[in-house]
Structure 1
Amino acid sequence: MKKLLLTVVLALCLTACAGQETTEATQPETTQPETTQTEASQTETTQPAETAQPGILSAFTAQDLQGNAVNQEILKGKKLTMVNVWATFCGPCINEMPDLGALAQEYADKGVQIVGLLSDANASDGSVSASQVELAQEIVDATGANYLHIIPGGDMMGLLYQITSVPTTFFVDETGKQVGTAYVGAKDKDAWAAIIDQMLEEVA
């Protein structure tokens, strides 16, 4: 039954999330799927995000999908961390997750990790929605995106408030300082690999 539910959810994401408006400040709008050539080219365009600032993740609190506490210590010992902000209603986010899962494995021995930042699990009162977390875990399992996914704590809300589209992806070094620019929109595996290689050169 869960597999059937997830299939229906994914189908709805692919058709509905492009026009979905945010209902809470912590649920950013999703970028539109490729419906026209013009829209597709806009999705692929690199856009600087207002949230990309030095030291953006130098100190933070969060939890993983299993409820374990997470903070900036996850960055230590990693040359580069790719933070992919996504939402359960976002078709483009879900579509790129299999590629991100593969990249997480391929770049692990190069000191690179990928972290998913789930943007729609927090209610307006700051509590975490158990049903959203369960749905997120089902999506992770179905897409093979077997890297760390975190739910932001209160001190990360300012970051989410500034992100207006998902997926949004940015990179930080082991101190939490932003590396390069941020990227709005989904990309395929080869495109992300090229960007990761470029970011590795910047932290070398």
Structure 2
Amino acid sequence: MVQPFSASDLTGRIVDNSFFANQRLTMVNVWGTFCGPCIREIPDLAQLPAEFPATDFAILGVIADTPDAANQATARQLTGSTGVTYRNAIPDRSITTEMLANVSVVPTTFFVDRTGTLLGEVLTGSRTKAQWVSIIRGELANLPAGS
């Protein structure tokens, strides 16, 4: 279960656990502004929400190195130049001490249901759009009917 959090995203809006309730499956992608594979993966991730109904799927990016203000500017530039429309959270204390506590490499990706319950495996490393679509379809298929 993802512990309660409340953080700002790159636009200054608050994002918290209620984000998960809006869709059956949320992909949480932890990345860093210093990470080449993360940056190369962003354009593919940006295309994923269009592949699924909004009631089924969303992405929440968590930028591991953005408590630093300079990195926030870099993250804004990277997401802006790659067509990202999904939200990207700047880790607060609860995200850093709970959600990121066991993250030792970026990108790290995990999936949660609408209650914030962790699903499947925690995945490390980048993937292509086609690989992510296949993984997401599998995760959606594994969700109980009516969830």
Asked if these proteins are the same fold (TM beyond 0.5), I'd say yes
Residue of structure 2 equivalent to 1:134: 73
Question: Could you report, residue by residue, the CA deviation over 1:83-114 in whole angstroms, capped at 9, with x for unpaired residues?
Answer: 00000000100111111100122224451001
Verify the 8 A CA contact 2:22 2:55 in the aligned structure 1: no
Amino acid at match of 1:155: S
Confirm or deny that 1:151 pairs with 2:73: no
Query: Is 1:79 the equivalent of 2:42?
Result: no
Post-superposition shift, 1:130? Answer: 2.4
CA distance in 1 between counterparts of 2:54 and 2:6 reads 26
Q: Percent identity?
A: 38
For residue 92 of structure 1, the aligned residue among 13, 24, 37 is 37
Question: In the alignment, what sits opposite 2:135?
Answer: 195
- Distance, in Å, in 2 between the alignment partners of 1:91 and 1:142 is 15
TM-score by length of structure 1 reads 0.67
| Matched residues, number | 143
1:67 aligns with 2:6: no
CA RMSD of aligned residues (A): 1.3
> In the aligned structure 2, how far is the partner of 1:109 from the partner of 1:67?
22
Task: State how 1:7-86 maps to structure 2 within 5 Å.
Answer: 55-57=1-3, 59-86=4-31
Gaps of 5+ in 1: 1-54, 123-128
Question: Helix, strand or coil: the match of 1:145?
Answer: coil
**Conserved? CA contact 1:179–1:202, under 8 Å:** no
Q: 1:110 to 1:190 in 2, by over 3 A?
A: farther
The amino acid that maps onto 1:163 is V
What is the CA–CA distance in structure 2 between the aligned matches of 1:109 and 1:103, rounded to whole Å? 11
Aligned to 2:64: 119
Larger radius of gyration: 1
TM-superposition CA deviations, 1:105-154 (whole Å, max 9, x none)? 222445100111000012xxxxxx32211110100011112211001211
Structure 1 outlier segments of 4+, above 3 Å: none
SS in 2 for 1:163: coil
Equivalent positions of 1:177-192 (< 5 A) are 177-192=117-132
Distance of 1:117 and 1:187 partners within structure 2: 17
Partner of 1:162: 102
TM-score w.r.t. the length of structure 2 is 0.91
